[in-house]
Chains A and B, each alone.
Chain A
């Protein structure tokens, strides 16, 4: 009996500790389920109609990739956080725009058992933060249903004469397979097709996006541009690796000045030029930024669709070891060298300062697959200036 009593007395602090932990867990769990963060929940309706926002930006930042990078001084950066800071700056400096920012974060648990929300949404209107909510990312097939839901809930009713931009910041989006894209959901797949479905959701009741900035590595394959092009007029993407992880977003600040004339194509080229200049300043690896006029590249895409699809099918069916295939400029493969190849594409390219490809002076703007070791014997030797 004494033993039992002393055990219960000794156990009392632990019981209290666990009771406290349970309370804390419950508090966190409940707060994580709440829809709104305690920030400026402004009277959105009051602002609507007072000052129309002629620009709309949807920015999806994939932050579940554990991608770090270093600058030339050795400072370490988290790519998604840098992109988020850039997107917020764009949102705050645009006095006549609505900006939707979706930050997709890694899955985390409180005390190993209680899942925390893995998405954060920011809505800015005319430079002011109107809403900031945590949300659950979709675990199913759609991938973007929660984001599309938030977009529809907050977007301006007056979509007339609005210039719509879409930004995706993340790592290279696979064309097939796609398992492991989310570092914290290794079994979950994400492909170009899923992003296209997301764009379909965003544009279901409105026109195509005017411009998409695909801020990932290897975003310029015929399949990728073709799949996303159904929902966008112009696309900015990188055919090769994209260092610093993401394009510089400074050009999106003050759209009322830089896009005043509504010339999206000219703006896209200016954005690409600035991003290219920023990247070439410190980067020793290859830098490539391309602008695609989606309607004008259709001829080329249709011409190469069969051959590219055949390659993708072969890669899927045969699942070759990654060591046996590599990416290459489509211009290195005869089947893609067509008169329409350069139509509707503006490329800013500078080769790597070192390595096997340092003498490659030109890029078609289209990225393909080939067997490793079949590198073209003759590399192009044009001047390294943008096309």
Chain B
């Protein structure tokens, strides 16, 4: 019985490790990439704006929840703060607020690519720990559902 428990434990740990490997930053990048694909799939500018807005809002909500969690470290808190600020800038530019000129309808596809690329190279994501990133992803999934 002990051997069986040990064997099952090893398999479980392996699966968890694989899950953790597949998650994190890549999943966060995929979230924005999926949003960009949806933006490009529709011709209606209002729908494009709504898809982008919703993706920003969902992410912001998840970041707020993570930030209030006692599980995250001070360093992660700083990284989350910066990520929120970056997202806010994108929301402002999309809407044309806070000194930004509203993104023209014909540039929304390009803007969605910009969001993906900017988030991929955002150094604040690099500084956030894997545990916090996974927490953000789980919250996004829960909020979307």
Contact = CB atoms under 8 A, between A and B. Distances in A.
B64 interface: no
B89 A356 contact: yes
B88 interface: no
Contacts of A67: 25
A327 to B, nearest CB: 9
Interface string A22-33: 000000000000
Which among B26, B30, B81 has the greatest number of chain A C-beta atoms within 10 A? B26
Which among B78, B81, B111, B120 has the greatest number of chain A C-beta atoms within 10 A? B120
Given A74-B34, A323-B78, A17 B113 contact: no
A284 B111 CA distance: 8
Contact of B116 (A14, A18, A66, A70): A70
Contact of A66 (B26, B34, B78): B26
> Chain B contact residues (Cβ within 8 angstroms of A): what range?
35 or more
Contacts of A352: 114, 118
Nearest to B126: A171
A74 B7 CA distance: 39
B50 interface: no
A285 B114 contact: yes
B10 A70 contact: no
A380 to B, nearest CB: 19
B37 interface: yes
B58 interface: no
A190 to B, nearest CB: 14
A171 B122 CA distance: 12
Given A241-B121, A243-B121, A356-B89, A72 B29 contact: no
B3 A11 contact: yes
Given A243-B121, A285-B121, A355-B118, A322 B13 contact: no
Interface string A57-89: 000000000111110101010000000000000
| B contacts with A: majority SS | helix
Contacts of B10: 111-112
B61 interface: no
Interface string A338-353: 0000000000000011
- Give 5 nearest A-B pairs by CB, closest first: A284-B114, A14-B3, A241-B121, A70-B33, A74-B37
A66 B20 CA distance: 12
A353 B110 CA distance: 8
B37 A354 contact: no
Contact of A76 (B24, B26, B89, B103): B26
B36 interface: yes
B120 A70 contact: yes
Nearest to A18: B3
Given A112-B13, A284-B118, A353-B111, 5 more contacts: A66-B24, A66-B25, A74-B34, A243-B120, A284-B110
B30 A355 contact: no
Contact of A68 (B7, B25, B117): B25
A322 B81 CA distance: 10
Contacts of A282: 113
